[in-house]
Chain A
Amino acid sequence: MNDPKELKPNENGKPAPGNVFLNESGRKTDKKEGWPRRIWSAVQIPVLAILSGLLLGAVFIVVTSANVYSAFGTGFGAGVREAFSTIASAYGALFEGAFGSPARIAEALRTGEKIERAFKPLFQSFVETTPYIFTGLALALGFRAGVFNIGGEGQIYIGAVLATLVGTTDLGIPPALHVLAAILLGVLGGAFWGFVPGWLKANAGSHEVINTIMMNYIALRLVEFLLTGPMTKAGSGGMPTSNNILDSARIPLVFPRPLTLHWGFFVAIAVAILAWFILFKTKWGFNLQIAGANKHAAKYAGLNVNVWMVLGMTLSGALAGLCGSVQVLGVTYSMGLGVSSGYGFDAISLALLANNNPLGCVLAALLFGFLKTGSRAMMSRTGIPLDIVSIIQAFILVFIAAPAIIRTVFRLRDESKGDSKVVSLSGLGGN
């Protein structure tokens, strides 16, 4: 009666703070406007958020650069020049590191020589994109189902360690089956790690955010134990690493080395398309979305809300587990504690950037992948630490989550009608 939580979802006739906005289904919202304007209004916030994030990243680089300060010591003009050249060299290296050098690519295409070297950065970016696609999908699907899966990290670890377990064991089965078996177990492990907090939310009403955080650390400790104990590499001297994945369990590369692109990338894109189709074009996706948007109405529509919420969380975990398996089997070929460099957390920004649309996740993942690959080149060439990418991503996430800031800065009209809420959340204790 006078419990504020009970009143919350539908005050004042505003859309409930559900996460879903069904106009993603590819149909035109308003037939009167021209398409360039429509596309612009759909992408303006993400695009401006990315640009602002890069801009603030540049400012950050300058502000923390000792060279710039010393240049300012010799004169204002010199300082400004140094600042701009710092940014130019950093972002130039970032760009070339991510896409490859335009000159080299042109040269390679013209002469047909050194093609591998020219395209290596681009394909490396695709490799880096792959885990982002999986985890982005995991988060997006969770958001659509009304759950906030902040436990991507743990699910990746569990997925990876189980895939490693299968991948390092000689099962005497053909390579294709061995890969599939390893991936399957990884996916199941991730799914279980998502199922537990989902089940607890549905049956005990405890908040999935806190439970997934706890599960992250449980996974970390468990993996630490496995990698220093039962699964440790012989002679690693207590370092937490596993044996190498057997050749039969490795995901094959698309091109011969040194190009590192593996088939996992295409699997990721296929999964994204499948997720998009199921989410927007089938009744099962609709079930998931109803359960996520309004659990009372979902019950009214004949669904068992708890089942779909748990399923959403489980699917989300499965995708994160898939991410872990593919990383181990296709990229690192052995398991260490660094198997996930924060993908589970980065995916939160990614999914929001993509407005929880699976195809949008692919685009956002490409951006993150390019940034990551580029930042390595930037670090080796200019000495700017690759952690700048985290900072840029944090800025992007701020602007996506608070579009009002972007609108104020760029003086845009607010065309959305209060639909920007991502998920409804109460405190960590209640549901």
Chain B
Amino acid sequence: MNMRSVTVESSIHARTLKVRDRVIGGVLIFFALLVYLAFAAAAAPETSSTFIMSRGGVVRGAMGDVVLPSRVVLTVVSVFLAVLGVALFAVGSRGRSGLFLLIGGAGLVFSFLVFVSFDKRINFASLFNSALTMSVPISLGALSGILCERSGITNIAVEGFMLVAAMVGSIVGSVTKNIWAGLLAAMAASCLLSLVHSWLSIRYKVNQVISGTVINIFSLGLTSYISSMYLQNIQALNKTPRFPTVSIPVLADIPFFGPVFFNNSLFVFGMIILVLIFNFLLFRTRWGLRLRAVGEHPKAADTLGVDVFKTRYVAVLLSGLIAGIGGAYFSLGSVGRFDEGMTAGKGFISLAAMIFGGWNPIPSFLAGVLFGFADALASAVSILGSPIPGQFINMLPYVITMVVLGGVVGKGVTGPASAGIPYEKE
């Protein structure tokens, strides 16, 4: 490459960065105006917003309510956002525009919370705690999708995996009265489905979206069939014990953070551990290197002696196991029984989280928490009553995903290069 093209390219790069800064700066200023005009202006001088900082029923780590003067707080946030926006225009972000956007989003959400709790009380601790809890199936589904797609197999069957796992977990948990047996059975059932997916996509080279669709249709049919034939009539088959809530010594006593983060279902801790483990496995081990290689350029991996098919089979089966845990959460972690269609599209949101997180475990987990937060916020808002219906907050994860994928802000995200393409040995 000669010097000229290097300079041309770096100037193009610099230009897109500048455009990006300006776009995000504009967004921040828009947020600032929104906060001021829609929220701050609606507050009377004496209006206050009350944030409850303890979870109901959780004694450890309890703390007092926080009462905020709404108008002052909102005005401060608005000015802060405006300053950030102007700074982006004038100085630029030095390549950290994503951080600015994140701060802007957080400021907007916070202002919205202040706004809906004008002269009311909103339980801040519960909100964050349920965001974390609700993110369990989303994050685990995303992790399941990441493993599969990083190895080159597109996986839209997470929804189906989780649905069957939820049902099997409930049945086995009810019959054995043992949560661990239920969890293992759920994982096994989901793994069996993932075996079908791997078999269709690897052995028969079926279009992977179609293979995933088959599994989703089959899973919905199977669970509804069994449910209406047996589970709805026979209580003994559908009343399972649930995983206990565990509090971590010492940490659970930290005010606010204790109840939110360290007093949770085992599923929450398990999810975080799994995300960390698989992040390490994917990026720091031989196994992970080979798995990613197979998903990017299987032929290159093959010529270096990596067994493409075996690597992909293992990845898809692991994906099934993890989705199985995510599915088990619905019955064994949450309500203690199976209801038809109880995954309610969480499998598809988890794909969105996967994409949002750029096919990386930790960012995808954070995306999962964000999407869980949207769910939690929607139900909190519908209780408080607000001019923005809960459904629109529920829509946010989907809209955000489309925006991120479409590269409306910056460059569009791309996944593993060979995902979706069956590998053919010559």
What residues make up the interface of A, taking CB atoms closer than 8 Å to B?
A: 2-5, 8, 64, 66, 148, 150, 200, 204-207, 209-211, 213-218, 220-222, 224-225, 229, 342, 345-346, 348-349, 352, 383-385, 387-391, 393-395, 397-398, 401-402, 404-405, 421-423, 425-430
Q: Is the interface of A mostly helix, strand, loop or mixed?
A: helix
Residue on A with the closest CB to B423? A4
Alpha-carbon separation in the docked complex, A3 to B351 (Å): 24
| Given known A204-B406, A402-B206, A405-B204, contact A426–B222 (CB-CB < 8 A) | no
CB-contact partner of A210 in B215, B224, B351, under 8 A: B351
Least distance between A319 CB and chain B CB atoms (Å): 19
Alpha-carbon separation in the docked complex, A64 to B228 (Å): 12
Residue on A with the closest CB to B210? A401
A427→B209 contact, CB < 8 A? no
A428→B415 contact, CB < 8 A? yes
Residue on A with the closest CB to B149? A427
Least distance between A66 CB and chain B CB atoms (Å): 8
A397→B217 contact, CB < 8 A? yes
CB-contact partner of A387 in B204, B225, B420, under 8 A: B225
Least distance between A98 CB and chain B CB atoms (Å): 18
Residue on A with the closest CB to B399? A218
B200→A402 contact, CB < 8 A? yes
CB-contact partner of A425 in B154, B216, B228, B389, under 8 A: B154
B405→A224 contact, CB < 8 A? no
| Given known A210-B401, A427-B415, contact A397–B213 (CB-CB < 8 A) | yes
| B397-417 interface bits toward A, Cβ cutoff 8 Å, 1 = contact, 0 = none | 011011001111000111111
Q: Is the interface of B mostly helix, strand, loop or mixed?
A: helix
- Any chain A CB within 8 A of the CB of B418? yes
A224→B391 contact, CB < 8 A? yes
| B379-401 interface bits toward A, Cβ cutoff 8 Å, 1 = contact, 0 = none | 00000000001011011001101
B217→A390 contact, CB < 8 A? yes
Q: Which residues of B contact A215 (CB under 8 A)?
A: 398, 402
B420→A425 contact, CB < 8 A? yes
The number of residue pairs between A and B whose CB atoms lie closer than 8 Å in the complex comes to 188
Q: Which residues of B contact A209 (CB under 8 A)?
A: 156, 209
Q: Which of B211, B221, B228, B407 gathers most chain A CB within 10 Å?
A: B221
A342→B220 contact, CB < 8 A? yes
Q: 17 A-B residue contacts at CB 8 Å?
A: A4-B297, A4-B421, A204-B412, A217-B395, A217-B398, A225-B389, A387-B224, A391-B222, A395-B218, A398-B200, A401-B204, A402-B200, A422-B207, A427-B149, A427-B420, A428-B419, A429-B413
CB-contact partner of B402 in A211, A222, A427, under 8 A: A211
A401→B217 contact, CB < 8 A? no
Q: Which residues of B contact A206 (CB under 8 A)?
A: 402, 405-407, 412
- Any chain A CB within 8 A of the CB of B121? no
A218→B419 contact, CB < 8 A? no
Alpha-carbon separation in the docked complex, A423 to B395 (Å): 29
| Given known A342-B220, A401-B211, A426-B421, contact A218–B228 (CB-CB < 8 A) | no
Which 10 A-B pairs give the minimum distances between C-beta atoms? Answer: A390-B221, A427-B419, A429-B415, A394-B218, A204-B406, A402-B204, A225-B391, A427-B415, A387-B224, A214-B398
